[in-house]
Amino acid sequence: MKLYSKPGACSTADHIALQWTGQPFEVELLDKDTMKAPAFLAINPAGAVPALVDGSFVLTQNAAIMGYIADSFPLAGLGGDGSPQQRAEAARWLSFVNSDVHPAFSPLFGPAKFIADESQFDAIRAAARKRLRGLFETADRQLADKPWLAGFRSFADPYFYITLRWANAAKVDLSGLDNLAAYKTRMDADTGVQAALKAEGLN
């Protein structure tokens, strides 16, 4: 199984998940140029990470890759204990990160995609930070009595952790969200997280 990742992108979450399986895998790190090169476009014509290759099977899209990793290595428990309820709970929080949190960063990273008037860029970024603050407050409440988003360590956690790193870099106000801060501290100290970050030159 081989993952194509760009350091610090959402693909780093898949790298962490693979570390958590404890099983062998390969990672090839790409940058903005190699993602658009013919060799990678043959794997993912969209020229985007993540992409996962397992034999002749090629898979893209972060949420799908997370599910595939969990189902390929069930003993890692990334989709729960095997019950439909835990699988659904893990998927619920993966969906929260993939469908709500991640897209909410788009106006911060590329305001020109939303409006041509550069004088409005700061207003768009401010609105994005406000929306993100609300989403992170939701996560903070969820973590009030749980060590992990789903209540157990799941494939939602690496993805959510990467968005927390983005939030810090983008100066999203996370003040007072103590459960979130404690969660990030735990993730920072995790050996699988540390191994993935080190391999991608991020720590």
What is the spatial distance between Cα 32 and Cα 24, in angstroms, rounded to a whole number? Answer: 26
| Residue 117 confidence class, pLDDT cut points 50, 70, 90 | confident
- pTM for the model stands at 0.95
Joined together, the tokens standing for residue 39 give 């060799």
| Cα angle, residue 135 at apex, residues 123 and 47 outer, rounded to 5° | 75
75 CA to centre of own chain: 21
Closest CA to 89 of 33, 21, 157, 41: 157
- Please give the backbone phi and psi of residue 155, each rounded to the nearest 5 degrees, phi first: -70, -10
At residue 84, what are phi and psi to the nearest 5 degrees?
A: -60, -35
> d(Cα 41, Cα 46) in Å, to the nearest integer?
7
Find out whether 58 and 51 touch, Cβ atoms under 8 Å. Answer: yes
Partners of 27 in the β-ladder = 3
pLDDT tens, residue by residue, 71-80: 999 999 999 9
Contact status, residue 136 vs residue 129, Cβ threshold 8 Å: no
**For residue 190, is pLDDT > 90?**
yes
pLDDT digits (tens, 9 = 90+) for 41-65: 999 999 999 999 999 999 999 999 9
Query: Which residue's entry shows tokens 């019950």?
Result: 83
> How many Cβ atoms from other residues are within 10 Å of residue 81's Cβ?
10
Band of residue 119 on the pLDDT scale cut at 50, 70, 90: confident
B/e letters for 21-58, b = 16+ CB within 10 Å, e = fewer, are beeebebebbeeeebeeeebeebbeeebbbbbbeeeee
| pLDDT: which is higher, 28 or 122 | 28
Backbone angles phi, psi at 153, to 5 degrees: -65, 125
Lowest mean pLDDT segment, chosen from 32-36, 37-41, 117-121, 146-150: 117-121
